Structure 1
Amino acid sequence: MGELTQEIPSQAVHLCIDMQRIFSREGPWATPWMERVLPNVVDLVGCAPERTVFTRFITPQRPSDLPGTWVTYYKKWRETTRERLDPRLLNLLPELERFAPPAGILDKRVYSAFADGRLHSELRGRGCDTLIVSGSETDVCVLSSVLAAVDYGYRIVIAEDAVCSSSDEAHDAMLALYRRRFDIQIEIANTDTIIDRWRV
């Protein structure tokens, strides 16, 4: 449990999910311990910024811009729609923004980074079959993106000290789920181990 089964290849990509100001203490969706994992995320990005893809969760201009239950969702969270939100809150945290470029940025409107096919196409173009995953939240956008990546056949390495959630209970439950139910496709390791085993 928690050990890497093999080296991380040089063509691996670090997928850093939604480390944005909207999820920091200054935003309406504050993830209280984002700041605690931020140094580990910075270390991962700094290891190979050109092998990093940041995602940003971009809220709609108004609730009706998205289909179905998203309308209900954004009626509840109307202050996060772009007609009301300070647009700077959609930016990456300043400590990470400086890495892009060479790091890439992929904007998304839903939880999964793979929803519209662009990310999978880019990763295949890079010859990537392994993803290192960090970011927020462990039980929402990280979960959705990781399971989509599993469906595509990627090897997943989650940096357990570089993911965070607004719910400690859900965070712990997700890491336990990954370990118990997806142990062949998902590996869990700490940042230092990942950096040590990544051949960049």
Structure 2
Amino acid sequence: MAGQGLIHGPLGDNALHLCVDMQRLFAPGEPWAVPWAPKVLPAIVELTSRNAERTLFTRFIPAAEPGGGPGSWARYYRRWADVTLSRIDPSLIDLMPELARFAPPAKLLDKRVYSPWTEGQLDVMLGGSSVDALVITGGETDVCVLATVLGAIDRGFRVVLVTDAICSSADQTHDALMELYHSRFSEQVETVRLQDVLDGWR
């Protein structure tokens, strides 16, 4: 689905590029490979290269041991025991190399659940800042990006979702989410192409 453009006007110093979980863990050949990740990576690199000091990368950190985590997360990490920290190469947690070179000046935020908001660190990082718009990229459309978008909406941020810079493992649910944003969140989510952001963020 094509982007709608920056319908609420250009972006400025109050915008932050929030890139979700573009880590080696999700690269081709790795335990949680996201097939689309290499396709969207160049767009994310392009956006980051122009706004590295206005970029924040999140990283998903698995449980330390199989069965770790509260409640249903324990069951989740029994199912995904081979992706716990005790069993994987620690470097898989790192950003993909094409993006790691931007941090610093880009900032990092580690999280242990899908949403970057739940553990409170992102609220602290943004508290007292002038940021009121989030330009969101990364993966996956229907999991961690979704959790990021919904938390941003709840907090009243302007949400700009870059359609050619987000990725999923499943076309069907990616497409369903894009339709959802258009039909149910049209006042709160702007779906845009990368070029719209590059042209509209001065």
TM-score, normalisation: structure 2: 0.96
Match for residue 118 of structure 1 among 110, 118, 121: 121
CA separation in 1, counterparts of 2:23 and 2:128? 26
Provide structure 1 residue ranges, at least 5 long, that are not aligned to the other structure: none
Instruction: Tell me the equivalent position of 2:45.
Output: 42
Over 2 Å off, 4+ runs: none
Q: CA deviation at 1:195?
A: 1.2
Partner of 1:125: helix, strand, or coil? coil
Instruction: Tell me the equivalent position of 2:109.
Output: 106
Instruction: Tell me the equivalent position of 2:58.
Output: 55
CA separation in 2, counterparts of 1:102 and 1:26? 29
Whether the 8 Å contact between 2:15 and 2:135 is mirrored in structure 1 is: yes
CA separation in 2, counterparts of 1:97 and 1:126? 24
- Residue 15 of structure 2 is aligned to residue 3 of structure 1: no
The Cα RMSD (Å) is 1.0
- Residue 34 of structure 2 is aligned to residue 31 of structure 1: yes
- Residue 162 of structure 2 is aligned to residue 162 of structure 1: no
- Residue 16 of structure 2 is aligned to residue 13 of structure 1: yes
Whether the 8 Å contact between 1:63 and 1:70 is mirrored in structure 2 is: no
CA separation in 2, counterparts of 1:127 and 1:93? 29
Whether the 8 Å contact between 1:53 and 1:103 is mirrored in structure 2 is: yes
CA separation in 2, counterparts of 1:3 and 1:103? 25
Match for residue 172 of structure 1 among 175, 195, 200: 175
Q: CA deviation at 1:3?
A: 2.0
Partner of 2:87: helix, strand, or coil? coil
Match for residue 193 of structure 2 among 190, 193, 196: 190
Q: CA deviation at 1:125?
A: 2.8
Q: CA deviation at 1:115?
A: 1.1
Q: CA deviation at 1:95?
A: 0.1
Deviations 1:107-146 (A, max 9, x none): 0000001111211222233210000000000000000111
Q: CA deviation at 1:9?
A: 2.3
CA separation in 1, counterparts of 2:199 and 2:127? 25
CA separation in 1, counterparts of 2:171 and 2:56? 26
CA separation in 2, counterparts of 1:185 and 1:175? 13
Q: CA deviation at 1:179?
A: 1.1
- 1:121-160 matches, cutoff 5 A: 121-160=124-163
Provide structure 2 residue ranges, at least 5 long, that are not aligned to the other structure: none
Amino acid at match of 1:50: E
Whether the 8 Å contact between 2:20 and 2:59 is mirrored in structure 1 is: yes
CA separation in 2, counterparts of 1:17 and 1:189? 17
Q: Give the paired residue count.
A: 199
CA separation in 1, counterparts of 2:142 and 2:66? 23
Whether the 8 Å contact between 2:67 and 2:76 is mirrored in structure 1 is: no
Amino acid at match of 2:198: I
Amino acid at match of 2:4: G
